[in-house]
Structures are given as C-alpha cells and as structure tokens.
Structure 1
Amino acid sequence: MHRRSFLAGLSAPFLLSASAGAQTVSRAQTLRVVPETLTTILDPHFTTSFTARDFSYLVFDTLFAVDDKWQVKPQMVDTWTKSADGATWTFTLRDGLTFHDGTAVTSEDCVASLRRWGARDTMGAALLKAAQTLEPVDAKTFKLVLKEPYGLVLQALSKPGAMVPMIMPKRLADTPPTRPIIDPVGSGPYSFVKEEYRPGDRIVLKRHAAYKPRSEPSVWASGAKVAHFERVELISMPDVSTQVSGLLTGEVDYLERLPPDVLPILERNRLVKVQVVSPYGYQGIMRFNHVAAPFDNVKVRRAVMQAVNQADYLAAVAVRSEFGRECRSMYGCGTTYETSAGMPAFDFEAAKREIAASGADLSKPVVILHPADAPGIAALGLVTQDLLTKLGFKVELATMDLNTFFGRRTRPEGWHIFHTTNTVPDMQTPLQNVYMGGVGAPAGFAGWPKDEEVEKLRAAFAATSSEAEAKSIAEAIHKRAAEAGFYMPLGQFVGPSAWRAELANVPVGPAMFLWGLRRAS
C-alpha cells in the first residue's frame, strides 16, 4: 500500500452500524475484534483454518488444554485415571458444565464429539485407531480402552492446533464429519448469536452466563476462561487503512494481525499497544498437488524446493527482520523435534538443471490457488509465481476468496500448488502436522502425498512412550517426507497484533484467545 493512499484512508470517516442486539449492550461492555480473515466455517472439527479455531475457542471447550510450558492441564475434566499397563483411561467431568441450549454436558456428548473429531484430525484418527472401545460409563464418566500402545493420549486431547478436539452436544456431533455444522452450540464462555450472523461480514457472540470457569489462572488455553465482556463482535475488515482508522478512533478494540509497514503510526500512538502475542508464530507453506502433473514427479517437486530462497518469502510476509527467520524444518524451529533432515539447500541454478532433466512439460500452465483476501497467503503466492516463471514454467493465479479456497483445494483437479500459513504449534510433531501424512488420495489431506513407510513410522511415533525413540522416529519421518517433496516450508515468522491501550490482561499464546481481557478502570 502506498503511503498517500494509506493516509487518505485514515482521514476517511469510519462508522460501524449497530444492530438491534448491540443497542442493548453498552459499547464499554462490547469487545470489537478484527481477525485477519473472518471464517464462514463454524465447525471446529471441519477445517484446519486457524480463524475457525479461534472462533471455536470462544464457543466450545476442551477436555484438556496446554499451558505455556506445553504441560497438559484438565479443562472440562475433573479427574482421570490410567491403568498400570496404560491401556485403560477413565475420565470424569467436572460439575456445572452446561451447553448454551441449557442442557448439561454428558459423557455421551464427549464420546460423540471425540469420534467426530477423530474422523477428520490426524492425531484423533491415530487415537481412535489405537482404541478398542470409547464408551460412556455414566452421565459424567467415560472410558477409553486401547488395543495397542498409544503414548499421546493426553497430548491428543489437549492439542491447541486445528483441528481442536472441542466438545459439542451429541445431536451436533452426530452430524456426518463430511458436512459442517452450521449452528454451533458449545459450553464455552461465549455463545453464538445466530440472529445477528452475517456470513463473511460479522460474527456476534454473547457471554454465556451459566459458564463456570476453572479456579486456576488462565495460561494459554488452560485455566479460567473469564468473560469480562457481555458481547464480542468479530468483524470483517479487509482494508488495512480502515482497520487502523477504526483502532485509532476507538471504533474497534483489537486487530489480530497487521502488516509491519503500518506499525510505525500505531507504535507512536499512546492510545494503542502493539505486541506479538503468539511466541512461536507461523510457518509459510508451499503445498504441491501430488496427483497432478508435473508435480506427480518427485524430481520436479524437489527441484522447486531447491529453488526456494526463504528470504524472498520472509520479505513478503514478515518485512521486518526481527519478525522472521529462515527455517527449513517441517516441525518449525524452536520445537522439540526441530530438524532439517532431507531438505535441499538453496541452489537456483541447480534447480533449473534438475527441471530440464526431469522431462516436465513446461508448456502447460501451473495453477496456483490464490486467496486474495488473505494477505499473508496471497503474498506467498505472488513470490512463487515469480519463482516458477524464472524456472521456465507458465503460471496462472486462480484468484478467489479464502473460504472458496478451502473448498477448492480439497478437489484434486484444477490446481497444482497452494500456499498457506499455519501456526507452528500445529506443525510440531509428525502427527499434528497434517501436511506430513502419507495416506495419499482420497483419504489424505489436500495435496495427497502417498508413502506407506511414512505412515508406518507415524504409527510407531504414536505408540512409543520413549522420548529418545520419538525424536529418532520424528527425524526419520522428516527425512523421508522432505526427500519425497511432501511440501516446502517457506520460513517462520510472527505477526504483531494491536489493541486499544485501555485493554488489560490481553492473553498470549498460539491462538487468539479472547477471554480474560477487560477494559481497565
């Protein structure tokens, strides 16, 4: 954005129309948030979109959660036991759990929700595959019996990355996992206001009066989720200058993620605070379609990976050097299993020679899925367009909105590459990282790499309880997935958020958590 047009945007009047519901709640009791993108998928089990995950954290709750030391803490669960052989797990819910429709949360709801989540999530699928039974015992207790070793039971049930194992009423959990729920009902601190929902424009939530927070302090997704605001409005605002204007005038309270080039004007304003709240940040991803030529050829995939200079991508999404770092680990850097095993070193000229030797047909266009309304993802696509053109490919950008993009990439025809950004905690193990699955089409994740050895190794990773063995297996999986060109990491970066300075107790963590914060008196 040019400075002149940006400043012109700041001088333009900024108004948010108030709905009838908003008029019954004061502005001081309303939190207005502008997410990076506004999801139209309201189902926590249906998509890896972190905007859907962040919305879901307000509406739903989880059995367990992790704190800032990655320690697993009980959330909806009160007590649990594990048998001496590790095969039988028994969980009892805490008192007072109530869904937004007024019904009590039961063990049947939990079992049905976990089964639905496990039908779509990689860690959930591994857990259910290892399970012999998962059944209610009584209204508040359910039991998991394993038929084979699975060393990550609590880690799976507490994972903060999409798709999060959130609990919903059984009537909703019985919805086929291939169809998203459209009327979300959870037991979290806020409830969805269906009457004020404007898909793609606004999501409104109100405080769940019956919610009983835990007594422990809130740390990341764990502990007390205290709702200090009566109302939360998630608002779509694609234009950056409008976002900044709204924050400066107090029409909005919180901007999830801003491009660094607009930060100086905010950093100089005493009414605004700018801070990175997600310490691990994001990984940029270039994903190949393994079932479509020319990327059905591993030599072509590896050549493009070799041509990637991560500095070019970081310049597009991080801008400031302190916000980005080169990282060729599929698990992310700074994580337990960080490794670059199998990743090619950057060598553009060698990449051109490899493509020429591969026999790839360069006369047919390579189609890049391009969600133009998601600035971070779109910026990665533009860098790849330039890269592939320099490598001799013809390139076509298929422009669409983000929600269309999520649907389009699930179909194997009509595209060759897509980009995304995923939070690093979503990538940190070979089970959590959906892009490291080797199931292939049609059951695998979009892109559909197929590698039976990777799947065997992932099963071994899930089964082990030895940390040393887990690290060894994780490195073997990474090496094989990288050599097969499952996908190319494009660097690791953080995104600063900004909010009105009168907001206090703004949470940090791997997701946009919006409980606990309040207006300072």
Structure 2
Amino acid sequence: MHRRSFLSAVLAPALASAPAFAQGSDARARTLRVVPETLTTILDPHFTTSFTARDFSYLVFDTLFAVDDQWRPQPQMVERWQRSEDGLTWTFTLREGLVFHDGSPVTAEDCVASLRRWGARDALGGLLLRATGTLEPVDAATFRLVLSQPFGLVLEALAKPGAMVPMIMPKRLAETPATRPITEPVGSGPYRFVAEEYRPGDRIVLARHAAYKPRPEPSVWASGGKHPRFDRVELIAMPDVSSQVSALTTGEVDYLERLPADVLPILERNRQVKVQVVSPFGYQGILRFNHRLPPFDNPKVRRAVMMAVDQADYLPGVAGRAEFGRECRSFYGCGTPYETNAGMPAKPDLEAARRLLAESGADLSVPVVILHPADAPGIASLGLVTQDLLTRLGFKVDMQSMDLNTFFGRRARPEGWNIFHTTNTVPDMQTPLQNVYLNGAGPGPAGFAGWPEDAEVERLRAAFAAANSEAERKTLAEAIHARAAEAGFYMPLGQFVAASAWRAELTDVPTGPAMFLWNIGRGAR
C-alpha cells in the first residue's frame, strides 16, 4: 500500500471526528511541542551548517544584528553603532540589561570572543576576520572592529541568518577550540537549555529566559522583538511521518517543521490544523563531490556528472507538488539578486556526459561511496536518484546509510566518501560569500566539506567582499559562478519549498528563512 493510501485509511476517520485540542493541564497549555525535520545533537551554533542546529540555536542564543524580510540588517543586541567615513572603523555598543542564562551580563569581551570563534568556522566570518586588523573591547558594553582592508558587507555578515550564524555566547565558552563543539549551550536568547531534561536524539527541552528583554520593534523574520510567550518549548524527535501527522491531529504535538507533500491533503482537510509554506525562497538541493579523492579529484569526472543531471528527476522526491518545485541551475538560487546560470551545463545530456567520462580515464571499477542520511527524507531521496544516475553512467555505487548526525560527522572527514547530498535554504546561498559550497580554500580549517581548491575563486570572493557598488558585486558574482561551475564545485538539484503544519489555535507563527518559534501563542490574544 502506498503511504498516501495508508495515511488516508488510518487517519481520515480520526480527522473527521478529532476533537478540539484539550488543554489537559495548565502546564501542557504553556508548552509548545515541536517536531523538527530532524533533532540536532550538535548544540553549538558555530560548529555545523545544519539548519536544525541553527533553528535550535536561534532559541538559545541572540545575535548582534538580524535581517528583516527585505534582507536589511537591523540591530538586535546592539543599541547603536558608528562607521568611520573611510568605512574601516566600526564601533558597536550593546543594549543595556543583556544577560546570559547563567546570570552573567553580556559584555563586549563575550562578543569579541564569539565573533572570533564564529570567524574560525564560517566562510563569510572568515573573510571578515581576514579583512580585520583589530577587534577589541573598548569598555564593558562597547567593542571596535578596525578593518585592515575594505570589506563592504560588515553588517550583512553580522546579520546573516544562515548557518553558521554569528551568535553570541559567554567568553568562557567562546574560547573552546573551534575544532571542538561546545557541550554547554548558554546564550542570552529568549529560551534557555534545560540540561537535566535533555535526552540526546529524543528531545530537547527549553524554558523561558525570565531575564530576556525583547526589542521594542515588531518582529520581522529574525529581527525585532522576540517574545517567549510559552513557558517551555520541547523539540521532539519523531522520524515517522505517519506518527507526526497523527500526533498533530490529536494535539499531542503543536508544530511540524517540514512535511512531504503527499500527506498535506490529509491535513488540509482538518479545520484544527493550518498548513503553510513559511519560507517563500525555500531550499536548494545539492550534490557535492569530494574533490580530494578519486574519481572526483578529476574535474572532467565532476563535469560529466553535472552534464548528466536532470533536475526533473530530483524535484518530485523533495517538492512533491509541481507548484512546490522549480528547475534552477544557479548556485545563488532563483529569484535572488545574483541569480545566474553562468558556466552551468545548459541542459541534461547523458551521451555527452558518457563521452567526457570516457575521455577522463576514470577507473569505474572502484565503487563510489555516497553518504546517505536515511532518516532525513528530504535529503535521502536525492541520493537515490544519484545512485541510479551514476549506475547509468557506468559507475559502481556503494550507498552507505546512516542517521543525519552521523552523516554530518562523516562528511567533515576527507576520507571514506565521494559524494554527499544535502539541502540548504536559498537565503543561505544567495551570495558568493554566504554560499559555503563556493568556498575555494581547499583542505584545512578555512575550507568546507568537499574542499574544492581554486585560488582565483578565492581572489574574486575577496574582491566581492571589498566591492563598494552593487554593479561591481554583480559582475564579480557572475565571474565566480562561471569559474566554480566550470570547475564542478557542486551541482544544484533544483529549488523547492516545503510546507509546515501547526495546530490552528496557535497564533502569530513567524515566517522567514528559518524555523522561528518566538512570539507564538495559543488561543485568542
């Protein structure tokens, strides 16, 4: 029986007669129970590009700046700032009354240490720090950043919404070596981590941060006032989709982050549930090569696979509905300011791919290892399509299944794999600095998993960072795209959105490029 038929048969009677959510107890009514797509086991906002870790971190930590729905940086922890006329000196002063969850005040020293740690891990942060001469506290509430060379995206870097987000933590934690994740998530955000109730891989419990002071402005995406209106937020692991749907319809849980399209008709018929796409830009599917190991250390082999990719084969598995997906060959995503197809194969051509593969001299007798996070349906479906594609090209394929958190650990090591797939939010991809898959620094701490190495791409990215005009940035973005595409940094697999679902009695559910859970209430205001 197909999943859609099974779900309809099992859940339709319950949906027709499901009672309104019973409050049960005041404690339950004051608890928001959320099922993320996957439950992170990495509690460090600076350690992984996983958006499930980022979404958790947005509850616990806060940022100096944040973007609104026009992608404009807005102050968050910062009260005021000054920029020198030459654009090289930036002085930031924190809002009064910012307090970490351990009771200590947020200071300029904490901010400086946090930014240094973030810059050691994040591609855009690394570029900012490499352009920085000094970054030092001035007093308890003020710090100063002095650039050694022009960098036109200071506020955009500090406000970036995509992982890894420059979130602020106490100095004692920020001094943890960047090669090791913190295990004590202490921030100054609207909710605090409840360590005694943490069950790795099962649930994360957060409690309202009583000392949190929301900004007075309205909340818009990641910016403005973040009001923790629930006493508790529980993030719950529930990998089985039918269990998620059942739990939502009965009121056992309140919010499902990301659902396959085939279950949406069931929920859309339920008046006690709301189904909505909260991020209009959605996600980009990604096929990433390991540039350090054969056969994909050979650019002709990478290019051959790219030429063979037909995005129409990938989109049904991640989008489900035709209106949820679109073919898009731009590294920056479609509908973004720097959208371009420069350097990309114009269309799928399997025969041309086979000819180029033969010309490459690649040894097809050695199995290609694909890392396959089987518990993440939105990623796993991509791997199955690539497995078939590589087989048709003549490769042998070793599909190695694992859970998502193991996957993140495996892909960080250069040995033992050849391809991984993932999805990333389009807002995280929209510039050559935010898109970590365009990092051409190669192996080492400055590079990113897959480790393409291209000095010219790095030179162009640095020029993009220093550019003062939008026209110059657009020219550079196209040049970077063309070179990275021709070198086979990775292959986009299309662009798609996904729907979330929540109990209809929830109010003020935020929209934006991440799963934001502040400001949500239950029932009439």
Q: TM (normalized to structure 1)? A: 0.97
C-alpha displacement at 1:3, in angstroms? 3.6
Q: Does 1:358 align with 2:374?
A: no
Structure 2 match to 1:223: 224
Structure 2 match to 1:381: 383
C-alpha displacement at 1:291, in angstroms? 1.1
Provide the rounded CA distance (Å) in 2 between the counterparts of 1:12 and 1:177.
52
3-state SS of paired residue (1:137): strand
Provide the rounded CA distance (Å) in 2 between the counterparts of 1:266 and 1:139.
51
Structure 2 match to 1:406: 408
Q: Does 1:273 align with 2:281?
A: no
Structure 1 match to 2:181: 180
Q: Does 1:300 align with 2:301?
A: yes
3-state SS of paired residue (2:242): helix
Q: Does 1:422 align with 2:430?
A: no
C-alpha displacement at 1:96, in angstroms? 1.0
3-state SS of paired residue (1:461): helix
Provide the rounded CA distance (Å) in 2 between the counterparts of 1:172 and 1:30.
29
C-alpha displacement at 1:72, in angstroms? 1.0
- Of stretches 503-512 and 24-33 in structure 1, the one that deviates more from structure 2 is 24-33
Aligned identity (percent) is 77
Provide the rounded CA distance (Å) in 2 between the counterparts of 1:455 and 1:432.
13
Structure 2 match to 1:391: 393
C-alpha displacement at 1:465, in angstroms? 1.0
Structure 1 match to 2:331: 330
In the alignment, which of 472, 475, 496 is matched to residue 469 of structure 1?
472
Provide structure 2 residue ranges, at least 5 long, that are not aligned to the other structure: 15-23
Counterpart amino acid of residue 330 in structure 1: F
In the alignment, which of 448, 453, 458 is matched to residue 455 of structure 1?
458
C-alpha displacement at 1:319, in angstroms? 1.4
Provide the rounded CA distance (Å) in 2 between the counterparts of 1:512 and 1:177.
26
Structure 2 match to 1:502: 505
Structure 2 match to 1:41: 42
C-alpha displacement at 1:8, in angstroms? 6.5
3-state SS of paired residue (2:139): coil
Provide the rounded CA distance (Å) in 1 between the counterparts of 2:54 and 2:26.
26
Provide the rounded CA distance (Å) in 1 between the counterparts of 2:183 and 2:26.
25
Structure 1 match to 2:520: 517
Structure 2 match to 1:18: none
Consecutive aligned runs of 4 or more in structure 1 exceeding 6 Å deviation: none
Counterpart amino acid of residue 110 in structure 1: C
C-alpha displacement at 1:25, in angstroms? 6.2
Provide the rounded CA distance (Å) in 1 between the counterparts of 2:27 and 2:183.
28
Q: In the alignment, is the contact (CA less than 8 A) between 1:276 and 1:496 conserved in 2?
A: yes
Q: In the alignment, is the contact (CA less than 8 A) between 2:287 and 2:420 conserved in 1?
A: yes
Residues 42-57 of structure 1 correspond to what in structure 2 (within 5 A)?
A: 42-57=43-58
- Of stretches 196-205 and 438-447 in structure 1, the one that deviates more from structure 2 is 438-447
C-alpha displacement at 1:442, in angstroms? 2.6
C-alpha displacement at 1:358, in angstroms? 1.5
Residues 137-160 of structure 1, C-alpha deviation per residue, up to 9 Å, x if partnerless?
A: 000000001111010000000000
Counterpart amino acid of residue 249 in structure 1: T
Provide the rounded CA distance (Å) in 2 between the counterparts of 1:441 and 1:60.
30
Structure 2 match to 1:16: none
Residues 341-380 of structure 1, C-alpha deviation per residue, up to 9 Å, x if partnerless?
A: 0001211121112112221111111110000011111000
C-alpha displacement at 1:92, in angstroms? 0.3
Q: In the alignment, is the contact (CA less than 8 A) between 1:7 and 1:241 conserved in 2?
A: no
Structure 1 match to 2:76: 75
Residues 81-122 of structure 1, C-alpha deviation per residue, up to 9 Å, x if partnerless?
A: 001111110000011100011111000000000000000001
Q: In the alignment, is the contact (CA less than 8 A) between 1:25 and 1:230 conserved in 2?
A: no
Provide the rounded CA distance (Å) in 1 between the counterparts of 2:173 and 2:402.
30
Counterpart amino acid of residue 460 in structure 2: L
Provide the rounded CA distance (Å) in 1 between the counterparts of 2:3 and 2:422.
25
Provide the rounded CA distance (Å) in 1 between the counterparts of 2:371 and 2:298.
20
C-alpha displacement at 1:309, in angstroms? 0.4
Residues 11-410 of structure 1 correspond to what in structure 2 (within 5 A)?
A: 26-345=27-346, 346-410=348-412
3-state SS of paired residue (2:121): coil
C-alpha displacement at 1:7, in angstroms? 4.7
Structure 2 match to 1:487: 490
Provide structure 1 residue ranges, at least 5 long, that are not aligned to the other structure: 14-22
3-state SS of paired residue (1:329): coil
In the alignment, which of 436, 439, 445 is matched to residue 437 of structure 1?
439
Q: In the alignment, is the contact (CA less than 8 A) between 2:4 and 2:263 conserved in 1?
A: no
How many aligned residue pairs are there?
A: 512
Counterpart amino acid of residue 170 in structure 2: P
- Of stretches 343-352 and 253-262 in structure 1, the one that deviates more from structure 2 is 343-352
Residues 118-177 of structure 1, C-alpha deviation per residue, up to 9 Å, x if partnerless?
A: 000011111111111000000000000111101000000000000000000001001011
Counterpart amino acid of residue 414 in structure 1: G
Q: In the alignment, is the contact (CA less than 8 A) between 2:12 and 2:266 conserved in 1?
A: no
Provide the rounded CA distance (Å) in 2 between the counterparts of 1:3 and 1:319.
12
3-state SS of paired residue (1:256): strand
Counterpart amino acid of residue 182 in structure 2: I
C-alpha displacement at 1:453, in angstroms? 0.4
Counterpart amino acid of residue 358 in structure 1: S
How has the CA–CA distance of structure 1 residues 272 and 24 changed in structure 2, closer, same or farther, with 3 Å as cutoff? closer
Counterpart amino acid of residue 382 in structure 2: L
Provide the rounded CA distance (Å) in 2 between the counterparts of 1:230 and 1:2.
36
